[in-house]
Structure 1
Amino acid sequence: MTIADTTERPATRDDERIPLTRWLAVVAMAVGTFALVTVESLPVGLLPFIGESLDVSEGTAGLMVTVPGLVASVTAPLFPVVIGRLDRRAALIGLITLMVLANGLSAAAPDFVVLLGSRFLVGISIGGFWALAAGLAVRLVPERSVPRAVSLVFGGATAANVLGVPAGTLIGGLADWRTAFVAAGALGLLVLVALLFLLPPLPAQQVVQLRTLPRQFRNPVVRAGVLSTFLLVGGHFAAFTFVSPILRTTAGIGEGAIGPLLLGFGVAGILGNFLAAAASERNVRTTILTVSVLLTAILAVFPFAGRTPVGGALLLMGWGLAFGGVPVAVQTWILKAAPDSTEAATALNTSVYNLAIALGALFGAIVATRLTLNGVLITGAVFTLLTSLAVRSARRS
């Protein structure tokens, strides 16, 4: 038994009162996405510490972001197919448990090979959880509250992308990088307890089959939304994976100030998430275009206008504000375009999201290793600039 209602009922426009436990369950899933995405991108702020500790280069250490991203991109579309009619509550609880165990392995890893193995397990938990969470959140609330529920779940992811990394960086600086993974695992335990008590049974409503996934590309808006996800997220992570060394070498910011600045980046990102959610209710397509233009401009001018501590700090805040609006805006666009295939469309978008993280980080590592750190900023700007073409392709739809 759970504290939440034990029998799920369909949400309708006529619902006037939502049980508090339903909203608490949505919040628990939002914290779950925060924990998982934090774990995925946690090495971003710890690359120097991990590289020094395990005697690998920063470019090689960047594989800790690439591996879970690639695994999650495969897991996301396959997981709903594999679990079939399994209760989604049990699936989410199992995925969070796997994340906790993987973080314990990361903290105890004696060498880089074992560490990469633990990151493989993290990728499975991320891909599966992401594929289900957004679609399940909308089942817990009335239709009129769906945008708010989606923004909460993606707010957790946005907060992780822009707040979890600096928090991990601070912990790594104050203690060591292994302690940061222990802290992430402890957060996962809290999420596990919350889901056990708050999440009601969620029987499968849609049995996703492999052939239903490519069908989503027939929808021009879903197709454009997925492509937008790839370009925006890939461009962001091509640069953001190396944000710590960029701040040190390009902007001349001391190592002790990077953690607090990334926390400011996080606050800006959270604000961007909720601003984009509100703007998306009016015109989601324009919101995506605005975010892509702003992100492109910031990445493009950073190598030139970010050469001082003040300039670098200001551009970093703008970067967080812009990227904070990406997940909720694109996912809202996709959910509106595929109301009868939310689980399949979300799984597809999740797959591409994580593939973009992996390939963006990998491409950034190649550019950083063979060219310059500033080259990853220009690379990211090129990716995000192309988003406007993807959005325009779906204009008639």
Structure 2
Amino acid sequence: MRTDTELHGNIKHQGLPLAPLLAFAMTGFIAILTETLPAGLLPQIGEGLGVSQVMAGQMVSIYALGSLLAAIPLTVLTSGWRRKKVLLLAVGTFIVFNTITTVSSSYWLTLIARFMSGVAAGLAWGILAGYARRLVPAELQGRALAVAMVGIPIALSMGTPAGAWLGSMMGWRVAFGLMAALAVILFIWTLIAVPDLPGQQNARRLPVWKVFLMPGVRPVLAVIFLWMTAHNILYTFIGPFLELSGLTAQVGLILLIFGFAALAGIWITGTLVDRHLRILILLSLTALAVVSLMLAVGMREQEVVFLAVIIWGWSFGGASTQMQTAAADAAGNNVDVVQAMVTTAWNLAIACGGVAGGLLLNNAGAVSFPWALMALMVVAFGIAYFGKKHAFKPGARKHVMNQ
């Protein structure tokens, strides 16, 4: 069995280990797409299970709940297990419960399956970042994480619309069956291509609360929560917001543009994250603040909306890599626990963004969205800017990590 040191020695000569990193990216792709797929298929799912669209929409909520509740406890429970075993467990759970979702005719059984799929996602998110970082030396960790996280923007921007189209053409069960089939392929890929690594020794583990209290961890989690809450207010209710500019019929095109811009963002982040992490984070936060200002003054102008979506997509594309890298740097050897916290904060932000967006839409209308985004981003930028001592350090990461 190869050790971490041996792996690093090989990688220095061979570059990034793309086969395992792309397996991690596919894991993220399946996790995100499994979560968001029902959103584009609510009428068909409701009809197929004999429930309303509102009830069908709970398939998304229950998945997020499973991920939220499972991320930290399962990550702690499995922290001493070999990493490949944990990853295979997560992927295998996707296979089982996406298959049950595909064939189930019971609404309540489907909800249970969705909850368990969310549990698998929580376990996967708790391990992926640390696993990717351990496969490479310190100076390549940001780039490795960028590759490992590329499945997220692909799933959000292109996977979800494609899944919705497939479901509308061939039935929603086919779309979930495809998710199960992809998970089978991933399971085999992981067995063959992903090197195994040991878990964390008991002596090196810190309790969850001590990791939470480490200098730098809470500022990173706070920025994640504020940033993703702002993002999800607009992303969740993009349809009602686009009514203001007469672009409702162009939602698919808008999301596609967002997705391509996000891919550009993750590429730029992957190139620069190991040398300029702090600058990237501050630029990304500033970019979303600029987007909020553009939309506040030009929300009824189609050209302004299209330009804002491009900037928004770019700023979001690198968010996962940037914030997971910052969190891991702040937590040191406790990377898996802190990544579970990142997952928890991220899912809380998704839920809060949906709730806040709904309240704003009902009480003040979609015109209020940009102002809410701006307020959240000002606070997030302030935390990131003034948190450079522990959380968002300047300079190249390999120097930061050795301090």
Question: Same fold by TM-score, threshold 0.5 exceeded?
Answer: yes
SS of the equivalent of 1:341 reads helix
| Residue aligned with 1:220, SS | coil
Q: Does residue 252 of the first structure (1) align with residue 246 of the second (2)?
A: yes
Counterpart of 2:238 in structure 1 is 243
Q: Identify if the C-alpha distance between structure 1 residues 385 and 160 changes in structure 2 by more than 3 Å, giving closer, same or farther.
A: farther
Structure 2 match to 1:284: 277
Q: Is the 8 A contact 2:227 2:285 kept in 1?
A: yes
Shift of 1:123: 1.4
Q: Which amino acid aligns with 2:316?
A: F
How many residues matched? 389
Residues 11 and 139 in structure 1, CA contact (< 8 A), matched pair in contact too: no
SS in 2 for 1:340: helix
What is the deviation of 1:222? 1.9
Identify if the C-alpha distance between structure 1 residues 144 and 280 changes in structure 2 by more than 3 Å, giving closer, same or farther: closer
Match of 2:36 in 1: 41
The TM-score normalised by the length of structure 2 is 0.84
- Determine which of 146, 151, 160 is the counterpart of 2:155: 160
Given candidates 82, 85, 93, the residue that maps to 1:98 is: 93
Cα separation, 1, equivalents of 2:68 and 2:291: 27
Relative to structure 2, which stretch is displaced further, 366-375 or 231-240?
Answer: 366-375
Q: State the alpha-carbon separation in 1 of the partners of residues 172 and 363 from structure 2.
A: 27
Where does residue 31 of structure 1 map in the other structure? 26
* 1:117 aligns to 2:112 (yes or no): yes
Calculate the TM-score normalised by the size of structure 1: 0.85
Distance between the aligned counterparts of 1:115 and 1:369, measured in 2? 30
- Tell me if 1:80 matches 2:75: yes
Indicate conservation of the 8 Å contact 1:30/1:153, yes or no.
Answer: yes
Q: Residue 348 of structure 1 aligns with which residue?
A: 341
What CA deviation, in whole Å up to 9, does each residue of 1:143-173 have, x standing for no partner? 3322221111122223323333233233344
State the alpha-carbon separation in 1 of the partners of residues 88 and 82 from structure 2.
10
Q: Identify the range of structure 1 (173-182 vs 45-54) with the bigger mean alpha-carbon deviation.
A: 45-54
Q: Is the 8 A contact 1:81 1:208 kept in 2?
A: no
* 1:273 maps onto 2:256 in alignment: no
Aligned position for 1:3: none
Q: Rate the CA distance shift 1:378–1:161 in 2: closer, same or farther, 3 A.
A: farther
Q: Do the aligned partners of residues 63 and 382 (structure 1) sit closer, same or farther apart at CA in structure 2, a change above 3 Å counting?
A: farther
Q: Does residue 293 in structure 1 map to residue 286 in structure 2? A: yes
What is the Cα deviation at residue 134 of structure 1? 0.8
1:313 partnered with 2:309: no
Amino acid at match of 1:357: I
2:126 matched to which residue of 1? 131
Amino acid at match of 1:121: M
Q: Equivalent residues in 2 for 1:118-267 (5 A)? A: 118-207=113-202, 212-247=207-242, 249-253=243-247, 255=249, 257-267=250-260
The answer (yes or no) to whether the contact 1:21–1:198 under 8 Å persists in 2 is: no
Q: Which residue number in structure 2 is paired with residue 89 of structure 1?
A: 84
Structure 1 letter corresponding to 2:98: N
Contact 1:276 1:287 in 2 (8 A): yes
In structure 2, the residue matched to 1:387 is 380
Q: Which residue of 2 aligns with 1:331?
A: 324
Identity rate of aligned residues, in percent?
A: 26
Distance 1:311 1:109 in 2: 45
Structure 1 residue 305, shift from structure 2 partner: 2.4
- 1:167-193: CA deviation from partner (whole Å, max 9, x where unpaired): 323334444444333333322222112
Report the CA distance between 1:358 and its aligned residue. 2.6
Decide which moves more: 212-221 or 124-133: 212-221
Query: CA 1:206–1:294 in structure 2 vs 1: closer, same or farther (change >3 Å)?
Result: farther
Q: Distance in 2 between matches of 1:162 and 1:215?
A: 37
The 5 A counterparts of 1:52-71 are 56-57=52-53, 62-71=57-66
| Preserved contact between residue 270 and residue 321 of structure 1 (Cα < 8 Å) | yes
Provide the aligned C-alpha RMSD in A: 3.1
Distance, in Å, in 1 between the alignment partners of 2:378 and 2:57 is 24
Q: Which amino acid aligns with 1:56?
A: S
Q: Which amino acid aligns with 1:191?
A: L
Distance across 2 between alignment mates of 1:111 and 1:376: 37
1:343 CA drift (Å): 1.8
State the 1:46 CA deviation: 3.9
Bigger relative contact order, structure 1 or 2 (CA pairs below 8 A, ≥6 apart): 1
Deviates further, 169-178 or 16-25: 16-25
Which letter does structure 1 place at the counterpart of 2:337?
A: A
CA distance in 1, matches of 2:156, 2:207: 30
| Cα gap change, 1:99 to 1:348, in 2 (>3 Å) | same
Structure 1 unaligned residues grouped into runs of 5+: 1-5
In structure 2, which of residues 348, 353, 369 is the aligned counterpart of residue 360 of structure 1? 353
> Following the alignment from structure 1 to structure 2, what is the Cα–Cα distance between the partners of residues 170 and 296?
33
CA distance 1:173–1:208, shift in 2 (3 Å): farther
Change (3 A) 1:234 1:117: farther
Change (3 A) 1:310 1:251: same
Q: How far is the alpha carbon of 1:204 from its aligned partner?
A: 0.9
